[in-house]
Structure 1
C-alpha cells in the first residue's frame, strides 16, 4: 500500500492533513466502484426522465464496457482503490508507457471532492514516477474544469486544440 499526504481543504471536523492510501482494487470493491461511476455518469441519465431501472441497466452496461476497454487497451494497468482511514473514497488507474505513466482514470466520491485527496494521491504518484525516471500525462475533457485545475495546480501543462474534446496534460520531473 502507498500513502499520500497533502493539505486539507474545507472538510469540517477533519484532520488538517489529507491522508489517502492506495490498494489494489478487488472483486469486493465492485459495489463501491459501481456507485462511484454512477455518481458521475448517472447525473446525465437521471436528467432524461428514464426510469430508475433503465438508468441502472445503462450504468451497469457503461461501467462494464469502460472497464473492459481499459483492461484491453492497458493490460498492465494498476487499478487501485483510494481509501481514507480505511473507507473507500475513490479510484486511480495508472498505465506505464515508455518513459511516462498515463493517468487513465482518477475519480473521487462526491462527498470527498475538494478535500485534497486527488491532489495528494497524484503528488504521491508523481514522486513514484519521478523516482523511476518517468513523467506523467492524462487526457482531460475540456469541460472538466475541476480536473483541469487539479492537474494544472500540480504542474501539469496542456493546451486545448481548437475543437478538441480533451486536453493532454503532461508533467515532466
Structure 2
C-alpha cells in the first residue's frame, strides 16, 4: 500500500452509521451468544455506545479519525495524548479491508508523528488477537505489561 492510498480524516457526525457497522464487524463473539437474532442489533448498538462512553471518560480529549481508501471509510483510529506518549486508544478496520496494510500504514504515520514530537507510542491489545500482535511486533512495539487478558505495548522512537 502506498502512502497516498490511505487518507486519515477527522470523524464527523455522519460517520456514526459507519462506526456502528465497524463495531458490529468486530463483535462476532456477541453474534454467537445471542439465541434470538432479533436482539443482535440492539445489543451491538448498546455495546458500541458503552465503548464510546468509556473512551470519552478515560480520554476526554481523544481524536477520532476515519481511515479511507479510495474515498470509502474502511476503519477508525482513536488517539489521545498522555504524559510522554501518544496513546492509540483504538484502531479497527472493516473485514473487507483487512490484510491490505491499512492499520500498518496508519500506525507507521503515528510512529512518525510520535518521533517528531519526541514521544513514545502506546496501545493495548487482547492477548488472543494474534494478527494484531504480529503487526505490532513487526512495527517494533514491545510488551510492557499483561493485565486481564490484555497486553500493554510501547514503541520508542
2-side partners of 1:36 and 1:50: how far apart?
Answer: 22
From 108, 125, 140, the equivalent of 1:155 is: 140
TM-score normalized by the length of structure 2: 0.93
Are the aligned partners of 2:125 and 2:150 in contact in 1 as well (CA < 8 Å)?
Answer: yes
1:99 matched to which residue of 2?
A: 84
Instruction: Give deviations 1:2-49, integer Å, cap 9, x for gaps.
Output: xxxxxx3xxxxxxxx3621111111100111100000111x1222234
- SS of the aligned residue for 1:158 comes to strand
1:110 matched to which residue of 2?
A: 95
From 18, 39, 44, the equivalent of 1:32 is: 18
Structure 1 residue 159 displacement after superposition: 5.7
Are the aligned partners of 1:142 and 1:160 in contact in 2 as well (CA < 8 Å)?
Answer: no
TM-score normalized by the length of structure 1: 0.85
1:65 matched to 2:56? The reply is no
For the aligned residue pairs, the C-alpha RMSD in angstroms reads: 1.5
- Is there any run of 5+ residues in structure 1 with no aligned partner, and where? 1-7, 9-16
- SS of the aligned residue for 2:89 comes to strand
Structure 1 residue 98 displacement after superposition: 1.2
1:51 matched to which residue of 2?
A: 36
- Is there any run of 5+ residues in structure 2 with no aligned partner, and where? none
